[in-house]
Structure 1
Amino acid sequence: MFLDEHKIKVEAGKGGDGCVSFRREKFIAKGGPNGGDGGNGGDVIIRVDKNLNTLNHLAHKKLFKGNNGEPGKGKDMHGRNGEPFIISVPPGTMIFNEDKSQLLADLGADQEEISIAKGGIGGMGNARFVSSTNQVPRLAEIGEPGESKEIVMELKLIAEVGIIGLPSAGKSTLISVISNAKPKIAAYHFTTLAPNLGVVKHRNQTTVVADIPGLIEGASEGRGLGHQFLKHVSRTRLLIHVIDGSLPNPGENYTTIRKELEKFDKKLAKTEEILVINKTDIIPADELKKIEKELKKVSKKKEIFKISAAAHQGLEPLQDIMFAKLAEIEKVDIEIEKPKDLPILTPHLDTERYHIKKIETEGEHQIFHITGKRIEQVAIMTDIKNPQGLERMYHFIAKMGIQKSIERKGATFGDIIMIGEKRIPYRK
């Protein structure tokens, strides 16, 4: 199995709860608060590992969780931060949101990484709530939950050279004799069911070559195996188009593949190409001349190389031209593709700190649903069952202007302020 697309859920670790604690020592009856803060939750990080070629190692797992932060302790001891969870992926992995409408990252270089889900902030301990009016705070924050989301990982192999052609044209044999790849080779169609990567070393030069499973007519529309793997040649800088010289209609066979490339991606169809006739060791000389003439006509007089991968004939000139072409083509580093409409976050310029989302009626009273990143964060991290925690919520409601806003909407005694899942009674 060759897994090149996988949908997973990532959950970052929860922040540790803050601690309520007071100094207790001999001869010190009433020591001050010394509860420490909770540790931050661990992120979920996606990191490139050059030793991987597929997403197969992730196939049987759908949920990846960061570690939770540890709670704070007495004596002002800070909880340990949660360890991040590392998901290793091969070079060329693209990260999309759940419905693939937005590209979040395109990871190419070894050890390149992205924090895909941020861990929650650890809650503050009661030592942080001391003030001139509250010398004995019995309040600590609850740790913030970590981010949770579903993402899609899609792999596009990173190879400088892609070997393409009809099934059984000899692509796998070619990559096996010019590189360190060891693909399965047999005398039937679709022997290669997944792309093979190989490193070619020639005259002190190296490059990575990909053998793409055989393409057939209609591959761009999903026929055969081609549609699944055509995307893997989209990153290549050079194509080696292998024609089976022992088959009839070589010109038509060549045109079939060219049409499929153009239908799939017009940019891919413009990629530099080396045209190769394979299996020349079993073709008579006069027949070979006819094949070459036919291919010259349909390929617009491209230079044609004659080889026999199985007999190891003509490989040196082919590798020479391959590296010469690569040297000519300007090398473009893989850059992270950012969505065109990527929003620029400017929280310091955001004047709307909260929003009255809706007002519902419950019996004789109203429920005011309040949204806003900061006020929701405070609500999540505050225990309103604790009287001091409830007072803290009222402080933020007044300080942020929420109280005045709902009073202008007609708030009265008995109404409810709903922030997230927290129901807070309105008070004047």
Structure 2
Amino acid sequence: MGNFVDHVKITCKAGNGGNGSMSFHREKFVLNGGPDGGDGGNGGNVCFYADLNMHTLLDFRFKSKYTAENGVDGAAGNCTGKRGEDLIIKVPVGTVIREAESGAVVADMDTAGETRTILHGGRGGWGNRHFATPTRQAPNFAKPGIKTEVHTFLLELKTIADVGLVGYPNVGKSTILSVVTSAKPKIGNYHFTTLTPNLGIVRRHGKDIVLADIPGLIEGAADGAGLGHDFLRHVERTRLLLHVLDIAGSEGRDPVEDFDQINHELANYGELAERPQIVVCNKSDLPDSEENVVRLKAHLAELGLDYPVFVVSAATHQGFDALLDKTGDMLEALPPIVHFEEEVSYDDSVKPGTFEIVRDGAVFEVVGSSMQRLIDSVNFDDEESMSWFHRTLRKWGVIDALRKAGAQEGDTVRIIDMEFDFVE
């Protein structure tokens, strides 16, 4: 139980594209055989797979850096390099992948067996055969493969369950789960016995209901106190909450005050307080329970809350048939489990992106997300490759932007770590 891990940070990198080959056909008695440089192979993708047999992110604590295989360089004889193998990273069902810096959702792995390609491998570079023209029959340059970037992701495991059992520690949530399902959670008479979400399935009138016994809340949980966010992230997907109370107050707390405090913590963490609830008054076999049920119902009426209230005893197994029937009826009318929509995707191909011209004294610097990949695809020792580079800058609008920024013939232009003279 102590090895349950539900949030980790990892770095991933797709494979680089293989370089294109610069070669010419050589054969006895064949003159001017022409260019035959093969293309580089594409780099491998980084993919995530939702594995039903995984229940924790613990493995990522021991390995946090993942790199797909690079594409192989092209070769003479029009031989294309081998494509890099994809890297498949297995995660538990319910894992949300976020961009570490911004928190934007990259993918929600909420379906068992689902595979998502998150990072695409770099495109293989073209061999010199692609650059042959009627006026340039022996191109002596090829394109390098696209180099990919390292991305940092935050993995968050959010339990997939229809119903979440919430409440203070030691109110009997684990015992209730064991009574109504075949789950065997760790049970003990001390706080925070449950340190991980326990899942159980109950079949009711031909339909399965997935219940999650969530670690107990304490005051300040929404701010991280106790198990804090480690609890609350697992409630986000549930459609219905069973709010479990120690109605006898056997721990010395007032169950009515417990009810208010738990809802306060839920309200402080997103919109969880608006989630439909059934109030479950557990430990009804103990003294003072009947009086407290009356007080609780009066309190709910004062607040204008029409939550259903069920009196049960996990110790004597009383009251659960009616509770489960109501749970099934309410689920029928509720929308599906929350899915986190994709907010960001990645593309390491070389294509125009946003850029800006920054003047640094007498130097005009071109800054933009695509500039590094453009620089990586140029052979600066080859005149024809440099001509392609200049044409690309013109096509992307960089030359016009430099002119508008005040650059004149001969001024210094910097792109990444390369400097050039400005030429119209």
- TM tier, smaller: 0.7 to 0.9
Unaligned runs of 5+ in 2: none
Larger deviation: 246-255 or 123-132? 246-255
**Residues 268-307 of structure 1: pairs in structure 2 closer than 5 A:** 268-281=272-285, 283-284=286-287, 287-300=288-301, 302-307=307-312
1:218-245 superposed Cα distances (whole Å, 9 cap, x missing partner): 3223322244312311221111122224
Question: Per chain length, whose mean CA-contact separation is higher, i.e. which structure has more relative contact order (CA < 8 Å, sep 6+)?
Answer: 2
CA distance in 1, matches of 2:274, 2:230: 20
Give 1:85 shift.
1.6
1:417 and 1:43 mapped to 2: Cα distance? 34
**Mapped partners of 1:166, 1:404: distance in 2:** 65
CA distance in 1, matches of 2:394, 2:85: 37
SS in structure 2 of the partner of residue 264 of structure 1: coil
CA distance in 1 between partners of 2:79 and 2:141 (Å): 16
- The alpha-carbon distance between structure 1 residues 144 and 360, as it changes in their structure 2 partners (threshold 3 A), is farther
CA distance in structure 2 between the aligned counterparts of 1:218 and 1:403, rounded to whole angstroms:
57
Range moving further from structure 2, 4-13 or 110-119: 110-119
**Structure 2 partner of 1:409:** 407
Q: How far apart are residue 254 of structure 1 and its match?
A: 2.4
RMSD of the TM alignment (CA)?
A: 3.1
Aligned to 1:251: 256
User: Does 2:360 align with 1:322?
Assistant: no
CA shift for structure 1 position 356: 3.7
Q: Does 1:204 align with 2:206?
A: yes
The corresponding residue for 1:260 is 265
For 1:289 and 1:355, locate their aligned partners in 2 and report how far apart those are by CA, in whole Å.
71
Which amino acid in 2 is paired with 1:411?
E
2-side partners of 1:405 and 1:272: how far apart? 56
Is the Cα–Cα contact under 8 Å of residues 409 and 423 in structure 2 kept in the other structure? no
Equivalent-residue separation in structure 2 for 1:121 and 1:48 (angstroms): 27
How many angstroms apart in 2 are the aligned matches of 1:130 and 1:58?
48
Give 1:364's aligned residue: none
Structure 1 residue 63: deviation in Å?
Answer: 1.5
Secondary structure at the aligned position of 1:330 is classed as coil
In structure 1, C-alpha distance between the alignment counterparts of 2:30 and 2:89, rounded to whole Å: 50
Query: Quick one: structure 1 residues 323 and 35, their matched pair in 2 at CA, closer, same or farther if it must change by over 3 Å?
Result: same
Question: Gapped runs of 5+ residues in structure 1?
Answer: 362-366
Counterpart-to-counterpart distance in 2, 1:191 and 1:355: 56
Does the Cα contact within 8 Å between 2:21 and 2:37 map onto a contact in 1?
A: yes
Q: Is the 8 A contact 2:407 2:422 kept in 1?
A: no
Match of 1:149, as an amino acid? H
CA contact under 8 A between 2:162 and 2:337: conserved in structure 1? Answer: no
Distance 1:112 1:336, change over 3 A: farther
Describe the superposition over 1:375-408 as per-residue Cα deviations: whole angstroms up to 9, x where unpaired: 6544311211234433443454566676677676
Comparing 221-230 with 182-191, greater Cα deviation is found at: 221-230
How far apart are 1:110 and its partner, in Å?
A: 2.8
Q: How far apart, in 2, do the equivalents of 1:196 and 1:311 lie? A: 22
* 1:384 aligns with one of 357, 366, 380: 380
Partners in 1 of 2:275 and 2:401 — Cα distance?
61
Q: Conserved in 1, the CA contact under 8 Å of 2:12 and 2:151? A: yes
Name the CA distance, whole Å, in 2 between partners of 1:26 and 1:167: 85
Match of residue 162, structure 2, among 160, 163, 177: 160
Partner of 2:38, secondary structure, is coil
In structure 1, give the amino acid aligned to 2:407: K
Moved more, 102-111 or 162-171: 102-111
Counting aligned pairs with the same residue, the percent is: 38
Q: Tell me how far apart the structure 1 counterparts of residues 14 and 91 of structure 2 sit (CA, whole Å).
A: 18
Give the Cα–Cα distance (whole angstroms) in 1 for the partners of residues 319 and 82 of structure 2: 63
Contact preservation (8 Å) 2:408, 2:422: no
Report if the CA contact (8 A) 2:45-2:120 is conserved.
yes
**TM-score under structure 1 normalisation?**
0.85
> What's the counterpart of residue 70 of structure 1?
72
Cα distance in structure 2, aligned partners of 1:55 and 1:250: 35
Quickly say closer, same or farther: Cα 1:123–1:202, change in 2 above 3 A.
same
Instruction: Look up the equivalent residue of 1:297 and give its one-letter code.
Output: A
Matched length = 410
TM-score by length of 2: 0.85
Counterpart-to-counterpart distance in 2, 1:255 and 1:110: 36
2:117 alignment partner in structure 1? 115
Deviates more, 1:22-31 or 1:233-242: 22-31
Q: Which of residues 176, 179, 190 in structure 2 aligns to 1:177? A: 179
Distance 1:377 1:237 in 2: 45
Q: Is the 8 A contact 1:36 1:127 kept in 2?
A: yes
Would the alpha carbon gap of residues 222 and 131 (structure 1) be closer, same or farther in structure 2, given more than 3 Å must change? same
